[in-house]
Amino acid sequence: MLSVKNLHAYYGRAHILQGVSLEAKAGEVVALLGRNGAGKSTAMKAIMGLLPPAEGEVSFAGRRIERLAPYRIARLGLGYVPEERRIFTELTVLENLEVGRQMPRPGVPAWTETRLFALFPNLARLRERPGGLMSGGEQQMLTIARTLMGNPSCVLLDEPSEGLAPVVVEQMAHSIRALKAEGLSVLLSEQNLHFSRAVADRAYIIEKGQIRFGGSMAELAADASLREQYLSV
Amino acid sequence: MSLPSILIQLLNGLASASSLFLVSAGLSLIFGVTRIVNFAHGSLYMLGLYGAYSLIEALGRTPLGFWSAVILAALVVGLVGVAIEVLVLRRIYRAPELFQLLATFAVVLVIKDVALFAWGPEDLVGPRAPGFGSVEILGKRIPAYDLLLIAIGPVVLGVMRLLLKRTRWGALVRAATQDREMVGALGVDQARLFTSVFFVGAVLAGLGGALQIPREPANLDLDLAVIADAFVVTVVGGLGSLGGAFLAAILIALAKAFCIGIGTVHLFGTEIVFSKLTLVVEFVIMGVVLVLRPYGLRGKKPATPRTSGEIAPALTSPRWQVAACWMVLFLVVPLLGDRYVVVLLTDIACFALFAASLHFIMGPAGMVSFGHAAYFGLGAYAAALLFKRAGLPMEAALLLAPFCAGLFAVVYGWFCVRLSGVYLAMLTLAFAQISWSIVFQWDSFTDGSNGIVGIWPSAWLSDKSVYYYMTLALCGIGIVFLWRVLFSPFGYVLRAGRDSPLRAEALGIDVRSFQWAAFVLAGMLAGLAGAAFAFSKGSISPSSVSIGQSTDGLVMVLLGGVETLTGPVVGAALFTWLRDELARDTQSWRAVLGLVILLIVLLFPQGLVGGLKALIGRWREARA
Amino acid sequence: MSAVLQVEGLHKDFGGVRAVVDVSFAVDAGELLALIGPNGAGKSTCFNMLNGQLAPDSGIARLGGRDILGMSPRAIWKLGVGRTFQITATFASLSVRENVQMALYSHAGKLGSLLQRFGAAFTVEADALLDQVGMLEQATRLCGVLAYGDLKRVELAMALANQPRLLLMDEPTAGMAPRERVALMELVARLARARQIAVLFTEHDMDVVFSQADRIVVLDRGRLIAGGKPDEVKANVNVRDVYLGGMA
């Protein structure tokens, strides 16, 4: 579904991604783990075309996308949920969803407001609420729902559990499992190992712009030294 | 002062405010989404007027003909807007702001000549709106059409609000205004969205113009006059806010109407002519608003300026060999050439200093001015007035003039350095327009539109060649002084403040004060250039303060390149010579100039000298 | 010995969200104090209140007997505080030496001169500072073309120009190559000890934090949840919880 090979990217002169390779198969939830500043968000942006990669290949649904504009990538069915959420604060919940709306894609679950409100019941009560007046958890739900309105076949979720209260994190995990049940692929970046273990099939660990580990969640759970080295304080 | 007369002025003012609001709303809308200040918006308004005039002639002076013409004119102007977006702006969305502004200004020049070609130089007085009589209010007759116009403002505001709030397009526009990149990441094609926004913005400007045809003759000066007014409205109302633009248009119209309505008042034995204070009132309103709310009544602080990733290159002092060559050229050529060459070279010397002073604040200090002619023109007028009205000797007038120009720069600059980027540029333009209007309207002091004549240099300078050498010396000293300052601690602070205001503040540097001082210094030297220019011509007219003069300076600097010190001088020489040649050979020199600017902007975003340097650099690299 | 910077009861709300809640700590002369925590813990908010970019809701930050909270960045600099930025802020069109000279000119209050040549003063002093941070060989290069790690060094030299009592370093090694990170902080530690400068820094590279910091304070959701020597912090249950989500 999504495959990244030897991706390099820079912020200004800072060499952030130093040859990242990873893969997410159809219907799979993959976690990209790492500490602050390890390069998780940059990897997401580079895949989405928001930060043009300097080197490397990105393939999605059988097409090379590393040179495409973000809107073309989105239209191929790759959804992006940014870490900072980037809700349109002056727009209501319904309007935020409207901006995300794209034509349905054959073979991919088609989302409507009604179905999304069923998935995120909190949003249903807030239809006319401006995005700027919502809590962090509600905004996180909205930013995911907004991306789903584009009927993606694969979603990049950048730190979905960050800054959320434990009970909201629980809901988020539930929602991601629901997406998987719909047949969507998900690549999520996380610092929270607990959360990742609750939702992901496989995991990569990124550290200082390079992939240091790739394997199943079970393998990761079994290797305490790995966790200690890359994820602990 | 009577209530009915104030009321009439009020309604008259509000009728104009409606159109001004439409133009400003279009400007705001386009800026919100594309981040481009469309200088050509006044031109679109002007096209609306001309278009309506011609279409009414074609369709007949019936109510149906009139209204079809107005709507058709607005739509056609909308298509012109689309053409501008697709042909020019789409190619330079990633270019520096300055070049985008310059490109839209080039469009102004082209449209002006197209209008001149199509409709001729005479004012075209449109028909009254058919089917509209007049209404009697408080014993005064008021055109019913004015009342309709007054109603149209709020109606359009309402319609725009509905469009923005109730349609998918509106949601996309509002979303893109906040976060274009995210909208793109959600699958929206920005190019198409931008084109549509340009269409709507242009339709608004066209409609604003077309609706004025029964009240205002179509003429070729409307473009810049309207854009300056629209800038004031936008600065006061807040960039990107429709409601703010509406509020500001009404506020300014009310204040002006009130002044005209009050008329002449005798207070404590002095006569105050309030009707002449309309511009001052506009100025005062803008000043108060900017002090209290720097981003306008309803505007918000602009998000942190986008990181362009481009780094201003280092400044290198011109090599003395190059400078010497120039000096020899300037010294020797007049000896060989005829009187015409001497006059041309005198002009070039004055404009070189003018351009160098503009470059000083624009390049190293990073403050783009669209109204630098204010100081050139005010210096020229100060010299003329000191000479004629105060009876000072010519030499004293010439040397005192820069200080008068500097005084204005002190006041204007105080406001300007509080803003940055496009806000700053718009404000400088508004100040220049205000200065122009004062000069133009104050007949009793400045001789108004005729200008001041008979300001000749003293006997020892009466020979054209002698005057040329004096000008060359004065302007040369001015330019060298500016260069010198750029390499002093003061000049370094300006560059530091431009490169990283954050770092400068963290080093304890009060960037704003330095910028203010730079503004004044540049104003004084532009004033010196203006004064020398005035005595070389023997007369001075309001056009020396005009927006046209300001943009000439801008073109000179950008033509030569902001990045080099010699650029502005080369640009001034080239531009002055080119304009002279073009004006002699062709009627449509403005259009040619506009196309040349567009070409330069699209091909050499670093200016000619910068582009040349880059080419040479690449050639050397290839050889090495 | 008394603290150079004493922060007490620092507090900041953003529209109802409590970004920083009752944070107190102190930094001593010659000491490196690391402020760490997950994303969104309030590190940057704390930092921006201390460097004058953000006004706090309440609290005191005493620097040599004066409360610096709410002062402008300019005033804080004049009290002897040097800063480096998370995303480097240098004067890109100026050379490395000129960047440092700018700081020295400002410290000496001699920026107003119109005709003196900028290059004529403070070159020796600038070069001495550049030598200390290992950037002397690159003194004539423009900051705009420097590698990221080198820019961080230039920032450090500029921060040292006003002979600071306190250095505020926001993510000093962000964006640097791994090898450079420890080297830079070792340099900072050496300078701090030699000149008795107090250093407060945020950092996400745990190798750097645990090898270079003298003490560490940990923020989570705006609150201080732990503080102490590196070993103590490493052993703290709360801290492991925050970083590992309760799985460790």
The angle formed by the CA atoms of residues B158, B163 and B166, to the nearest 5 degrees, is 105
Both B279 and B360 in one domain: the answer is no
Residue B507 has pLDDT above 70, yes or no: yes
Specify if B515 maps to a domain.
yes
Size of interface A-B (CB pairs under 8 A): 60
Both B234 and B272 in one domain: the answer is yes
Q: Which residues of B are less than 8 Å from A149 in CB distance? A: 186
Position B1 scores a pLDDT of 54
pTM (2 decimals)? 0.81
H/E stretch holding A71 reads helix A70-75
Q: Which residues contact C228 (CB under 8 A, 6 or more apart)?
A: C215, C216, C236
The number of angstroms, rounded, from the C-alpha of B561 to the middle of its chain's C-alpha atoms is 19
SS3 content of chain C, % helix, strand, coil (to 5): 40, 25, 35
Size of interface A-C (CB pairs under 8 A): 65
Q: Residues B429-468: pLDDT tens digits?
A: 888 888 888 888 787 888 878 888 888 888 888 888 889 9
Both B216 and B341 in one domain: the answer is no
Q: Residues B34-77: pLDDT tens digits?
A: 888 898 999 999 999 999 999 999 998 899 999 999 999 999 99
Specify if B567 maps to a domain.
no
User: Which of the residues C206, C216, C237, C242 would you substitute to probe the A interface, choosing the one with the greatest number of A C-beta atoms within 10 Å?
Assistant: C206
Domain ranges of chain A: 2-230
Q: Which residues of C are less than 8 Å from B510 in CB distance? A: 74
Of A164-168, A182-186, C200-204, minimum mean pLDDT range: A164-168
| Per-residue pLDDT band at B78 (split at 50, 70, 90) | very high
**How many CA within 13 A on the CB side of residue B329?**
11
Q: How far is A41 from chain B (nearest CA, A)?
A: 15
- Residue in chain B closest to C145 (alpha carbons) equals B311
Q: At C193, give phi and psi (nearest 5°).
A: -70, -40
Q: Where are the alpha helices (DSSP H) in chain C?
A: 43-50, 73-78, 96-108, 123-132, 148-160, 178-195, 206-212, 230-235, 237-244
Which residue(s) pair with C217 in the sheet? C35, C227
Q: How far is C244 from chain A (nearest CA, A)?
A: 6
Q: Residues B451-462: pLDDT tens digits?
A: 888 888 888 888
CATH code, domain carrying C76: 3.40.50.300
Q: What average pLDDT score do residues B600-623 get?
A: 71
| Per-residue pLDDT band at B347 (split at 50, 70, 90) | very high
Residue B310 has pLDDT above 80, yes or no: no
Q: How far apart are CA B204 and CA B71, in angstroms?
A: 10
The 10 Å Cβ neighbour count of residue B624 is 5
Residue C178 is part of which domain span?
A: 5-244
Task: Look at strands C5-14 and B270-273 and give their pairing.
Answer: unpaired
Q: How far apart are CA B613 and CA B599, in angstroms?
A: 18
Name the residue among A88, A55, A61, A90 with its Cα closest to residue A73.
A61
Determine if residue C2 is left, alpha or beta; phi over 0 gives left, psi from -120 to 50 gives alpha, anything else beta: beta
Q: What average pLDDT score do residues A217-221 get?
A: 88
Average pLDDT, chain B: 86
Q: How far apart are CA B524 and CA C1, in angstroms?
A: 56
Specify if B602 maps to a domain.
no
Both B526 and B470 in one domain: the answer is yes
Both B196 and B249 in one domain: the answer is yes
Q: Residues B533-573: pLDDT tens digits?
A: 999 988 898 888 888 888 889 888 887 777 778 888 888 98
Position C248 scores a pLDDT of 33
Position A96 scores a pLDDT of 96
Q: How far apart are CA B510 and CA B415, in angstroms?
A: 16
What string of DSSP letters covers B256-289?
Answer: HHHHHHH-EEEETTEEEEGGGGHHHHHHHHHHHH
3-state SS assignment for residue B542:
helix
User: Which of the residues A51, A88, A142, A153 would you substitute to probe the B interface, choosing the one with the greatest number of B C-beta atoms within 10 Å?
Assistant: A88
Supply B61's token pair: 């002076």
Q: Residues B212-268: pLDDT tens digits?
A: 999 989 999 888 888 888 888 888 898 878 899 999 999 988 888 777 777 777 767
Q: Which residues contact A229 (CB under 8 A, 6 or more apart)?
A: none
The number of angstroms, rounded, from the C-alpha of B151 to the middle of its chain's C-alpha atoms is 30
Q: At A165, give phi and psi (nearest 5°).
A: -70, 150
Of A16-20, B279-283, B513-517, minimum mean pLDDT range: B279-283
Burial code (b: 16+ CB inside 10 Å, e: under 16) for B248-284 equals bbbbbbbbbbbbbbbbeeeeeeeeeebebbbbebbbe
A50·B188 Cβ contact <8 A: no
Position B200 scores a pLDDT of 96
3-state SS assignment for residue B253:
helix
Q: Residues C199-220: pLDDT tens digits?
A: 999 887 788 888 889 999 988 8
Both B259 and B328 in one domain: the answer is no
Based on the number of CB atoms within 10 Å of its own CB, is B473 exposed (0-12), middle (13-18) or buried (19 or more)? exposed
Q: Which residues of C are less than 8 Å from B365 in CB distance? A: none
H/E stretch holding C5 reads strand C5-14
User: Which of the residues C95, C107, C111 would you substitute to probe the B interface, choosing the one with the greatest number of B C-beta atoms within 10 Å?
Assistant: C111
Q: How far apart are CA C110 and CA A176, in angstroms?
A: 61
Position B105 scores a pLDDT of 85
CATH homologous superfamily for the domain A2-230 = P-loop containing nucleotide triphosphate hydrolases (3.40.50.300)
Q: What average pLDDT score do residues B470-494 get?
A: 92
Position B307 scores a pLDDT of 37
- Please tell me the total count of domains within chain B: 2
| Per-residue pLDDT band at C36 (split at 50, 70, 90) | confident
Q: Which residues contact C229 (CB under 8 A, 6 or more apart)?
A: C214, C215, C216
Q: Bigger pLDDT: B168 or A228?
A: B168
Q: How far is B366 from chain C (nearest CA, A)?
A: 12
Q: Which residues of B are less than 8 Å from C74 in CB distance? A: 505, 508-510
Q: How far is A75 from chain B (nearest CA, A)?
A: 5
Q: How far apart are CA C135 and CA C130, in angstroms?
A: 5
Q: Which residues contact B381 (CB under 8 A, 6 or more apart)?
A: B439, B446, B452, B530, B534, B540, B544, B545
Residue type, C190: R
- Please tell me the total count of domains within chain C: 1
What string of DSSP letters covers C99-140?
Answer: HHHHHHHHHHT----SSS-GGGSSHHHHHHHHHHTT-GGGTT
Q: What average pLDDT score do residues B403-425 get?
A: 88
Both B283 and B329 in one domain: the answer is no
Would you call A195 an interface residue with chain C, using a CB distance cutoff of 8 Å? yes
Quote the ipTM score. 0.94
Q: How far apart are CA A82 and CA A75, in angstroms?
A: 17
Average pLDDT, chain A: 90
Q: Which residues of A are less than 8 Å from B193 in CB distance? A: none
Supply A191's token pair: 């610092």
Residue B17 is part of which domain span?
A: 3-292
Q: How far apart are CA C45 and CA C13, in angstroms?
A: 10
- Residue in chain A closest to B187 (alpha carbons) equals A71
> Helices then strands (H, E): number in chain C?
9, 10
Q: Residues B177-220: pLDDT tens digits?
A: 888 899 999 999 989 999 999 999 999 999 999 999 999 899 99
3-state SS assignment for residue A232:
coil
Q: What average pLDDT score do residues B324-341 get?
A: 80
End-to-end CA distance of chain B: 80
Q: How far apart are CA A172 and CA A166, in angstroms?
A: 10
Q: What average pLDDT score do residues B104-125 get?
A: 92
Position C1 scores a pLDDT of 52
* Cα→Cα distances A221→A187, A202, B419, C242, Å: 19, 11, 56, 18
